[in-house]
Amino acid sequence: MQGQARLAAGRSEQGAAPFGRSHTLDVLRGLAIAGVMAIHVSQSFPSNIHAVDYAFMCGWTGVNVFYFVSAMTMCLMWTQRVETNPTRKFYIRRVLRIAPLFWLAIPVYLMINGTGPSDNAPNGIGPVQVILTATFLHGFWPDSVNSVVPGDWSIAAEMTFYLVFPILVTAFGSRRHLYVALAIVLHLVNVCLFKPWAFALFSAYYGPGHEAFVWTTLHISFLNQLPVFLVGCALFFSLRDGFARSDAAIYAVFVALSFVANRVTGSHEFNYLMINLVLGALVAGCIKLAIRFKPLEALGRNSYSMYLSHFAVIYGLRQLWPLADGLVSLIIAYVVTAALSYIVARATWHLVERRAQDLAHRLTSAGSERSTVRTAVAATAAGMR
C-alpha cells in the first residue's frame, strides 16, 4: 500500500493528463483487434493480390499493440489505486478478467480443431497440453502454444506478465530507466544464450523436420515478449512524468546492443525489436494526441472476447462461404467476421464477463477501504484483454 501511495504521489499533474481518460487506450485496443482479425481473415480468404494480402498480414502487429496498452493500463491502475493487499487484489482482478472466457474457449476449440497432430502440436493434443493451457503455463512448452486455443500464445504472455508485474512495479516504481535496462538485459540473454540453447534442445526433442516449428515457438515465447511489456511500462512513466534526453539515449543503447547481438548470433530478433520500438512510439503518440474514434473504442472495449471468438467465426464462415477467393471476398469476409465477433463479444459480456467482474469487485472490496480509482480508470480495466 505504501508503495502504491508513493507512486501516486509522484505523479505530476501535467504528466497525468494523457491518462486522465480511457478513450485513447480503447482506440488502440480497437486498432489492435482490427489488425489481428485482418491477418487471420486474409489467411482463410486471400485476395491473391500481393500488396493487399501483405497489408492484411501486417495485422500481426496488433498483438504487440495489445502488449503496450496492457503494460500501460496495469501501471495506470496500480498508480491510481491505493488499497490494502494490492498484490492479492491485482491477481484476483486479472484472473477473473481473463480466465472465465478462456476456459470456455478450451472445449470449444477442442471440438472444432480436434486433438490430432497439427503444425502447432506435432504429436497431437493430450492431457498435458490441455492442463498447461488451462493453467496458463502453455507458453513454456512448444507444443502447448496455440495447440489448444488458437492465438493463445499472447494470452500466455499476458498472464505471465501479470504474474511478475506487481514485483516489478513495487521494485522499480516510476524509475522508467530500470524497466528499459531490464528489457535490454533480458533481450540479450534471450538472443545470445536462451534461444540458441533452447533451439538445439527442442529440435533434438521433436526430431528432424520440426525446426521451423521450434523456431516459431521460441520467437513467441514469454522471454522474447517481456521486453515489449517492460518498454510499455517505461513509456507509461515517461508520458506521465515527461520525456527526457536520457530516454532517447537508453533506447539508442538498446538498439545498438541488439544490432550487435543479432549480427553475432544470427537470432533474427533485431527487426522484431525495431518494429516494437516504432509501435511503442506510435502508441505513445496516440496517447499524447488523445485520439478518439467511437467505432474503434467500441471494438476496443470488447477486444478480448473478439480475440478469442474470431477464430471460430472464421472457421464457420469458411465452411459456408459462397464466394471465390479475391478482393471482394476478402473485404466482405473481414466485415462479416468483425460484425459477428462483436456480436459474440456483447453476448459473452452479459453472460460471462460482467458476472466475473462483479465477483472480482466483491472479492476485492470486502473489508477494505474504498479504492481511489476514478470511474474512467474502472472503464479502462473493463476494456482490458
DSSP state of 33: H
Sign of the dihedral through C-alpha 245, 250, 256, 259 = negative
* Residue listed under C-alpha cell 498435458: 128
Q: Which long-range contacts link 350-358 to residues 24+ away (Cβ below 8 Å)? A: 352/100, 352/101, 352/104, 353/97, 353/100, 353/101, 353/304, 353/305, 356/96, 356/97, 356/99, 356/100, 357/96, 357/97, 357/382
Give the pLDDT score at 268: 85
Sign of the dihedral through C-alpha 201, 110, 303, 384 = negative
Q: What is the amino acid identity at position 41?
A: V
Determine contact, residues 336/58, Cβ cutoff 8 Å: no
- How many C-alpha atoms does 346 have within 13 Å on its Cβ side? 7
Q: How far apart are CA 382 and CA 98, in angstroms?
A: 11
* Residue listed under C-alpha cell 480508470: 377
Q: How far apart are CA 331 and CA 337, in angstroms?
A: 10
Give the pLDDT score at 22: 75
**CA-based nearest residue to 176, from 246, 117, 269:** 246
Dmax (CA) for the chain in angstroms is: 61
Structural domains in the chain (count): 1
Which residue stretches of the chain are H helix? 2-9, 13-16, 23-44, 50-57, 61-80, 86-113, 127-134, 152-172, 176-189, 195-206, 211-219, 222-241, 245-265, 270-289, 294-301, 303-320, 327-348, 354-365, 375-383
Give CA angle at 321 (352, 309), nearest 5°: 15
Domain of residue 290 covers 2-383
Helix (H/G/I), strand (E/B), else coil: 149:
coil
Instruction: Please indicate, yes or no, whether the overall pTM of this predicted structure exceeds 0.75.
Output: yes
Give the pLDDT score at 2: 52
pLDDT (tens place) for every residue of the chain, 385 residues total: 555 555 654 554 444 556 555 789 999 999 999 999 999 999 999 999 999 999 999 999 999 999 999 999 999 999 988 888 899 999 999 999 999 999 999 999 999 999 999 999 999 999 999 999 999 999 999 999 999 999 999 999 999 999 999 999 999 999 999 999 999 999 999 999 999 999 999 999 999 999 999 999 999 999 999 999 999 999 999 999 999 999 999 999 999 999 999 989 888 899 999 999 999 999 999 999 999 999 999 999 999 999 999 999 999 999 999 999 999 999 999 999 999 999 999 999 999 999 999 999 999 986 544 444 444 444 444 444 4
